[in-house]
């Protein structure tokens, strides 16, 4: 019997077993380090009584930056539009990038606001009206706001892609102001993977933007104004919108996870380097 050969086989067998056990142990440690923070975060949500009533998007989401140009309404043939889409409206373009209108027949909104009826009015009586989506009705300022959309996603809180209706004391729309982005398209380059929406919510919690007892009622992806290249061209970057208690909107950069401040619609986010995202080339 060749004992030397048998000994060699045993040594190799135990060596392979040791390598396998080390690999399994390292995998367990790696998985443990990945799941522990998530478990801690879920426990933090529970202790803070933060509830999820929204369907959180699942799976990998990829998207890219957009470029858009502010519409110059001085170049639009308003006389032709007054005979069609903008019939029964007094139109003016005192600002070249904005269209102001007074309705000859005020549109009744009333106390029982019907969004579907106003959506129909927008599609039929507003220039490029099908590019806008309802955002909010403000009870304290008698305004109704729509924002422009791209491929079904909002261009969040940008005064260059906004439709604002102004109501009188009788809850009728008498005037509106419209701005519009045109030539909206993706920047050259591949789309990138976005952070998971749950990570965006975690960042809001760490940032103390989510208060105790908050309810997450909606989560969606859109775009925010990141950089203004010149007087008319903008770069729009992906963002997660988290709706709290059905009324408060919180925003997170969907590339890097920074919590965004979009409270001031007139704020030029390009002036704040901390809020600029990486541009895909």
User: Domains of the chain: which residue ranges?
Assistant: 38-64+187-260, 67-183
In whole angstroms, give the CA distance from residue 89 to residue 72.
19
User: What is the per-residue pLDDT for 271?
Assistant: 37
User: What is the per-residue pLDDT for 274?
Assistant: 40
User: What is the per-residue pLDDT for 230?
Assistant: 60
User: What is the per-residue pLDDT for 104?
Assistant: 94
Q: Which CATH architecture has domain 38-64+187-260?
A: Beta Barrel (2.40)
- CA distances to 43, 50, 55, 190, 257 from 40, rounded to whole Å, are 5, 14, 21, 35, 19
Q: Running along the chain, 281 residues long, what does each successive block of 10 average in pLDDT?
A: 64 66 54 49 77 86 93 87 89 88 93 92 95 91 93 93 94 95 88 91 89 91 80 88 92 93 50 42 41
Q: If we measure between CA atoms, which residue out of 224, 234, 197, 263 comes closest to residue 55?
A: 197
Place of tokens 């019939």: 87
pTM of the model: 0.77
User: What is the per-residue pLDDT for 47?
Assistant: 77
User: What is the per-residue pLDDT for 278?
Assistant: 46
The CATH number of the domain covering residues in 67-183: 3.30.310.160
Q: If we measure between CA atoms, which residue out of 224, 150, 143 comes closest to residue 177?
A: 143
User: What is the per-residue pLDDT for 256?
Assistant: 92
User: What is the per-residue pLDDT for 22?
Assistant: 58
């Amino acid at each position: 019997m060749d004992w030397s050969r048998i000994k060699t086989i045993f040594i190799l067998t135990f060596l392979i077993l040791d390598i396998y056990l080390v690999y399994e142990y390292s995998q367990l440690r790696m998985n443990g380090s990945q799941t522990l923070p998530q478990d801690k975060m879920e426990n933090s949500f529970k202790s803070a009584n933060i509830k999820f009533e929204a369907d959180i998007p699942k799976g990998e989401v990829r998207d890219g930056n957009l470029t858009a140009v502010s519409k110059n309404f001085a170049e639009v043939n308003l006389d032709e539009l007054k005979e069609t889409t903008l019939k029964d409206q007094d139109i003016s373009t005192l600002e070249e990038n904005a269209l102001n209108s007074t309705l000859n027949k005020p549109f009744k909104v009333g106390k029982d606001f019907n969004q579907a009826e106003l959506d129909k009015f927008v599609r039929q009586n507003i220039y490029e009206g099908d590019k806008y989506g309802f955002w909010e009705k403000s009870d304290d300022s008698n305004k109704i706001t729509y924002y422009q959309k791209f491929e079904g996603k909002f261009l969040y809180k940008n005064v260059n892609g906004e439709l604002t209706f102004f109501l009188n004391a009788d809850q009728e729309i008498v005037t509106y102001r419209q701005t519009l982005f045109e030539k909206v398209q993706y920047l050259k380059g591949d789309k990138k993977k976005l952070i998971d929406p749950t990570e965006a919510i975690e960042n809001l919690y760490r940032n103390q933007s989510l208060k105790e007892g908050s309810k997450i009622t909606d989560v969606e992806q859109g775009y925010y104004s990141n950089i203004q290249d010149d007087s008319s061209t903008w770069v729009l970057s992906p963002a997660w919108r988290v709706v709290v208690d059905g009324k408060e909107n919180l925003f997170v950069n969907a590339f890097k996870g920074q919590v965004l401040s979009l409270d001031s619609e007139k704020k030029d986010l390009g002036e704040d380097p901390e809020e600029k995202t990486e541009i895909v080339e």
